[in-house]
Amino acid sequence: MIRQDGKDVSFAAELPPVLPVSLVLVSDYEDGAKTWNDERKAVAAYLNDPHGIPAEVVIVGARADIEDAEPPSEWSNAPVPVRVEAVDETASGRMKNCAVALSNHEIVAVIETDCIGEQGWLAIMMRRMQEDPQLGMLSPRTAYPAHRTDRVQRVMTLLDRGYVEVPEADGRMIFRTPINGGLERRSLALQFPYPHHPSPFIANHLREMDIHKAGVAVGLEPSAVLLHAFHGFGFIADLRRNKGFQFWHMMRRENPDRWDRLGGASQIRKVVRQAWKLERNVIRRLGPKRLKPLDWPLVPVMVLLGLYLAAQGAADARAGAGLPRGSGYR
């Protein structure tokens, strides 16, 4: 029996279909003392999906965080093996590398612990991977939990998560590698590990560049929806500063000498201009499909706030910080 949101949650008495996939759970956010709350919710959700459950669950955490935190005893009664593995890594990307290496199936669902798929999510993704053996990695559509009922979460789902679903401004469709969660073939995940970098955003970007350069087939399955926990405006501010920080570093990487000759104000303007270009593209292409009439007045407010926060992240990058101010990402 698991306590989730104040209620008892049991594993289904009748075993759902078991899918040949390893589910690995990794936390990408510093959350203080280990409580296992996110992991409990995720395990309960994924192992009670009537459409199909993973064949195993591997939960990986930094040794310093979890070696003295006793895992919930209820997991010993789960219908499939649930393993907790402590590793000598703290960066989320490097922990994902360890998790994949510790998994036992050729298809691996690499999920951050504060993300839970809607029912049927895993079965839809698995079917697509099995039908297309050339597909190396598959991303879902990501949304905030109340995106259907809450105006703020609906707008922020569009602005924070919509870019994976739309073509670039020039019409090219660049399929994104899984970020918060998705399916990967284990052999490819081992071939393209996350590089070491203090910023998980930059580590993911560098890995994605290597994957696309190698010609790996990456896909998007918009009918599978992964719900990312919404932690409030502090979380949004952290995310947006990290995106500005990422943009600064990746823009500098294109031509370091030329970039370094620019003044600080010019660099930050370029970052803000790039962030606005991406926002505008998503709003134009996806906004009419996803937003309701009363949502639109909130859009410019959140866009301007996001651009201001991106500028802060860019300023931190220029100052040589390892991460943006106050970041909880790892």
Burial label for 184, CB within 10 Å (0-12, 13-18, 19+), is buried
Lowest mean pLDDT among 80-84, 91-95, 157-161, 245-249: 91-95
Lowest mean pLDDT among 24-38, 152-166, 198-212: 24-38
Q: Which residue reads 């990794």 in tokens?
A: 26
pLDDT at 167: 78
Amino acid sitting at position 18 = V
Residues 6+ apart with CB under 8 A from 293: none
Round to whole Å and give the CA distance between 27 and 234.
18
Asked whether the beta carbons of 85 and 102 are under 8 A apart, the reply is yes
Q: What does the CA dihedral 13, 15, 16, 22 come to, rounded to 10 degrees? A: 120
pLDDT at 4: 44
DSSP 8-class letter at 323: S
- Report whether pLDDT(37) > 50: yes
pTM > 0.85: yes or no = yes
What's the whole-number mean pLDDT along residues 185-208? 94
pLDDT tens per residue, range 261-307? 999 999 999 999 999 999 999 999 999 999 999 999 999 999 999 99
Burial label for 154, CB within 10 Å (0-12, 13-18, 19+), is buried
Asked whether the beta carbons of 132 and 211 are under 8 A apart, the reply is no
pLDDT at 31: 59
- Report whether pLDDT(6) > 60: no
Q: Count CB atoms within 10 A of the CB of residue 27.
A: 21
